[in-house]
Structures are given as C-alpha cells and as structure tokens.
Structure 1
Amino acid sequence: MVLTRSQARKKATFPFLDLPAELRTAIYHLALGGRIIHVDRGGGSHEKQSETDARTSVCEASILDKESYALKRLPVDRREGLGNSSRHNACNTPAAKNLPLSFLSVCKQIHQEAALVPFQANRFTFWNRKSLARFLRYLKPKQQNAITAMILYQVHIQSGWESASHRSLKAPRLLGLREVLICVELAPGDYLPFFGEGESIVSQTIQDDRVSGMGKLKAPKLNRVEVLINNSSLGHIPPLTSAEIKAWEGRIKDMMLAK
C-alpha cells in the first residue's frame, strides 16, 4: 500500500500525547526545568531600571553558588574570579540564554499541562526586593504560587534587602515556595563605614538589618533555608570568625522560617 504524503507525515510523527501523563510530565520537567533563572541579573539599587523591566536569563556560570562559596573559604587565588559579580558576568550579556518556552505553544493541551512547569522546576535568583516585586507583579497568581525555589543574593555594599529598602513594597506571598538559598558576600566596605561615622558588619544589628527584607517573604510551606556567608576577600581586614558566621547564619534561618 502506498501512503499519501499526509499519511506518511502522520505516521512519522511521534505520538507524544499518547504517552502516559506521568511520562509527559517528566519530559516537561526535563525540557523546561532544572535551571537557575536570573531575574534582573545584577540589578542592584544603584542601577536605573524601568519599572516594567523584569529581564530573565538562564545562569551561564561554570561553577555553582555552593561550590563557589566553599572554594572561597579556602586559600585560593583571587584572580580565579569566583565572586558573584565576575562569576555571573556571562549571564548578563545580549547573548544570554532564555528558557525555550516555545515548547509551550506546540498545542493547547501541552500548554495546559506544562504552563506552570517553568516556575515549579527552576530556581529563580533575585538581587534585591525591588527586582522580586517587579517580577511578581507581572505574574499571574497561579504562576507566583508555582515558584518552589529561590536564590537571594546580598552582595557587599549594594543595598537591596535592608529593612528600609523599598519599605513601601507589598510583602510577596508565595504559597508554593519551599526552598531558599541565601548567598551573602562581604567586602571591605562592609567593615569600614563609607560615609562618616557608623557601625560595620561586625555589629549583629547591622548584620541582621542587611538581610531583614528577605524575612518579608510570606511562604507558609517554606521548610528549607540554606545560608552561605563569604568574607574571605577582605585584604588586611580581619574577617568574621567561624563562630560569628555560624551565629549569623542561624539567625537568618530563624528569621526566614518564623511563621
């Protein structure tokens, strides 16, 4: 029997929608998940950004945050550029990759089944409360509540998560958020006041205020908080001791998990 061109094309097409639902879900997660998504990469409060700009890009860093912070606690060569600023440079270029969301437009059924997977199966990074608020403002409630994991950066002298930063912003409520990784990277400016007299990062009050805005997250299902504090690149300034770092990490965890 000779097949027509239409029949041949139909026969050559893989019957994806005939697969069991569990298998289709696994494929959606492989295609659309497993990535770190930067939101307003590097957008500290010192940078001017449009209120409608919520840029996203897939992380291109060759070394993960946990690995980087572990290495920087060892006597490594600073020229390796393991800090957040240099490590994520490739993530903020015109050629930065975006998530292949065109997969969702194949057909209505695939869109219905997989539309929330990019939010459920990826980790979203934020550098300040304003970027977080901007991003959530343009998501539908279902998309907001589908987010399960975040990475929050507090990078040396940039302001963004202090209690006074963007105080008027509404506290985001994320019903699906379960996991948060907090990366704190200190620098000499955190220890020596830049403008007149003031306290430095050695003060517990200053330490806790630096990240207090993170505690504004309303996440009733949050059950895993990991904190990484790096203060190895301080030159001649004595860094925080291991005991001081451990105590600060504990206070941040308690703040985030407080119901």
Structure 2
Amino acid sequence: MRFAFAGCDRNLKLFEMLMQAGWQPVKLFSVPEINHLSSNKAIVALAQLNKIPIQLSRVNEQELTALKDLGCDVLVVGSYNWRIPDWRSSFPFAINFHPAPLPLGRGPYPQIKAILDKHQRWAVTCHKIEHEFDTGAILDSENFALDEYDTHESLSIKLQMAEARLGLRVALNFINLWQSAKPQTEGEYWPLFKDEDRTLDFYQSAYVIKKQLRAFGLLECIAYVNQKRLFIKTGYAWQEPPTHQPGQVVQTNGLTVVVACQDGYVALTDWYLG
C-alpha cells in the first residue's frame, strides 16, 4: 500500500509501524513548529532519511491530485491542524487516527477533558475521513486504562503507544477493516479549550486545582497572583486546614510560590510571567 502521511513527532511511531507493515510512504505533510505539541524534527528527519517529499504548508486539492500521480492509495492522518479537502477523486482511501473513543470526544484536542472528566478508559480510534471532523465510519480502535494519577504528558505517551499498536493492526488487515467499518452513532463534540478553562481559581478546592494542573501539564495553566499573570508549567495542590485567604501568597522560595486555596495550598514550582 502506497500512502501519504499527515502528522508530527507525536505520530512518529504510527508512521514507523505503517512502514514496518510494508506500506510505502510517498509524501509527508506536517505543520510548522509552534510549540512542543507540533514538534516535527524527528518525523521530518525520518522522511529525509527515506527520501520522502515533505510539505509543511496546508494541503490543497491540487496537491491531493498530485498524490494520485505518485500512485498513492491511502492518505493517513495522525495529527494535522487543517481540514483535508475532498480526497475521493484522488485515491481510494483516507483514514484518521483520532485520540478519543469515538463517537465520544470528537474535536481538535479531547485529551484535556478526558482527564478533567475523570475517564477510567480511553482510546485511539481509526476512522474514515469525511467532510465533518471525526464522523467517519470506524475501522478499529485501541483502548487503554486511565487513572487518577494520569497527566497530560502520561496520557500523551499512552496515546502514542496505543496509536502505534492500532496502526500496525490496521495496516496488516486494512482492506477487510475498511470494508467492514461501522458507521458512528450520535456523537459528542468537545471544542478546543479556552484560556478560562486553564485558569486557576484559588477559591476552588485543592482537588479541582490539582486536576487542572494534571490535565494541562506542559500546555500550562494560568494563575493571577498579586495582580500578575503567571503561566504555570508545573505545580501541585494539597488539602490542609486553611489559615489563609484564597489567593494569598503564603510562602516563596526561589521560583516556588505557595498560594492558599479554598481548602489547602497550591505550590507553583515552574512558571513565568506573561
């Protein structure tokens, strides 16, 4: 199977698994690096090593037609910020690996809500690409456990490992899975988080704040301390009989700032002013 791939370093293992299954890559689409989530150095280096053409700008219909001239059979999307144009006149198949147990968790980045809503199971789903995001018939999925200690970063690792397992399974039995794909039922769309969602409210409980810190991780929470806006990379919250008003700074030590919350304290251990 000759395939084009759209993804970044988070999808590196998926890309490798497809090649391991004997699929032949004809082009890599990625996006310009904005932050660690869009890092593409490793996947671009692999493409260069294998002399695979690379494109970092938005794919259009003409470029999909060009893939047809390369003998492309299938477009595989792992992570891509732009909508894929109608592909049906260019090649027979197009699939997306979505980081949620569809039809639950449609949307651009469901990982945050997975932790905030305390899901105990999560999944990667492989589905056909339709015009509406994340609605295509499901070829297969790979499930795994979540627990109360999972963070944005640990969930990301679990997703990458599950995506690689699923990708290999899909590649080795692709035609059968495509033909037997199951249409999705009524789903649930989760919009992209906003700054309000990642802003700490020190009048909330330590439990709620700790969950926010875990859910956003290196995507950073926001806190307002002494009328200054802080972007929080790491922090921790715990319950303790309160003796200070919520939002009051009770201790500083180097970069660490400890702030009182509703029923305890929040230690901001790695942050910067923004």
TM-score (norm. length: structure 1): 0.29
More strand by share: 2
- The TM-score with structure 2 as length reference comes to 0.28
Q: Taking CA–CA contacts closer than 8 Å with sequence separation of 6 or more, which of the two structures ends up with the larger relative contact order? A: 1
More helix by share: 1
